[in-house]
Amino acid sequence: MGDITRVGVIGCGLMGAGITEVCARAGLDVVVIESSDDAAKAGTARLESSLNRAVERGKLDNAQEVLDRIRVVTDMEQLAERELVVEAIVEDEAAKTAVFRELDRIVTSPDAILASNTSSIPIMKLAVATSRPAQVMGIHFFNPVPVLKLVELVPSLLTAEETTERGRSFVQDQLGKNSIDCQDRAGFVVNMLLVPFILSAIRMMESGFATPEDIDQGLVLGAAHPQGPLALADLIGLDTIKAIAESLYDEFKEPLYASPPLLERMVSAGLLGRKTGRGFYTYA
Ligand code: NAD
């Protein structure tokens, strides 16, 4: 089996748009599915502004050439002939399971890889929603996708070796990313370490022990982190952090992973971080 040329991405939010961009910049043809015309428009605008920024920074010659390889649509049936599909919708198990059931019906290519960018939902739960669990795996990118080099590769207990190896060659050889191998456990490697760290920073702030600015400055200047945990939480999205914490708690039942009340309230209030203009900080 040769290189993958036809990719599908489901969801054109923060991550889906990033995954689409790196695939199209690598010369691949990408069909992206969004849930409504408005969301498709917003996704297209997200792609355009990221590609235009890349041109301004001298990292890309021609944004239009890349956009010409991308189609953002609302009809999932258009994924029928894709060789690899990456699901990147909201971190919700029921919604993702429904998408994998649909993908199994729609994607006709017999060797297609059905991948999820989930941060914390067991790949096995998505795999068993299909009739081809051997072709389902986690391909977990990091935000911002065009910038961060890491991808976690997550086979489930039922994933075929051949699927994992094709996934590895796709992300390393075709997209130029670095991959690490993880077991199918909530949080994989990076979020299992990162999310409890962010939750501890939120608890520290919530208890009045230190301000967000001081917590973040402490880690930037005292531990050489490129940004503090609360600024990072705003970048990731507080709804996503909450969802990952819930999956980790569900899996391991450790208080360390329990979502602090402040995080719950901020998510209920729609203070989700950069994407809504306000989280621990306010954005213009
Ligand atoms: P997001 O809210 O920015 O984007 C989700 C998008 O999916 C939205 O545009 C929404 O309209 C669309 N969508 C929802 N249901 C859909 C459906 N049924 N069909 C098509 N589109 C649908 O979320 P995000 O931050 O991009 O996260 C997406 C996934 O990536 C989640 O599983 C998350 O855990 C994972 N992830 C997030 C990060 C991060 O830093 N935010 C990092 C790695 C992985």
Q: Are residues 30 and 134 in the same domain?
A: yes
Distance 262 CA to ligand 1 centre (A): 23
Within a domain: 11: yes
Structure confidence at residue 87 as a pLDDT band (50, 70, 90) = very high
Q: Is the domain of 147 the same as that of 197?
A: no
Mean pLDDT computed over every residue of the chain: 96
State yes or no: pLDDT of 1 exceeds 80.
no
Alpha carbon of residue 239 to chain centroid: 13
Number of domains in the chain: 2
CA of 157 to the centre of ligand 1 (A): 25
Please tell me whether residues 197 and 267 are part of one structural domain: yes
- pLDDT tens-digit profile of 19-39? 999 999 999 999 999 999 999
Tell me, yes or no, whether 14 and 90 share the same domain.
yes
The yes-or-no answer on residue 48 being catalytic is no
140, 160, 181 — which closes off a domain? 181
**Does some domain include residue 281?**
no
Q: Is 140 a catalytic residue?
A: yes
Let me know: does 131 contact 106? Beta carbons within 8 Å: no
CB distance 198 to ligand 1 below 6 Å: no
* Domain encompassing residue 230: 190-276
User: Considering the entire predicted model, what is its pTM?
Assistant: 0.92
Å from CA of 33 to ligand 1 middle: 11
State the average pLDDT over residues 266-277. 97
Do 158 and 216 share a structural domain? no
pLDDT over 90 at 9, yes or no: yes
Whether 142 contacts 189, CB under 8 Å? no
pLDDT at site 113: 98
Active-site entry in 119, 120, 156, 247: 119
Residue 38 forms part of a structural domain: yes
pLDDT digits (tens, 9 = 90+) for 154-210: 999 999 999 999 999 999 999 999 999 999 998 999 999 999 999 999 999 999 999
Given a contact cutoff of 8 angstroms between Cβ atoms, the answer to whether 80 and 112 are in contact is no
For the Cβ of 143 lying below 6 angstroms from any atom of ligand 1, the answer is yes
1 in any annotated domain: no
Task: Say what the pLDDT of residue 284 is.
Answer: 85
CATH number for the domain including 214? 1.10.1040.10
Known active-site residue 62? no
Contact 238, 198 (CB under 8 A): no
The reply to whether 196 and 109 lie within a common domain is no
State the Cα–Cα distance between residues 48 and 39, nearest whole angstrom: 14
pLDDT at position 22 is: 98
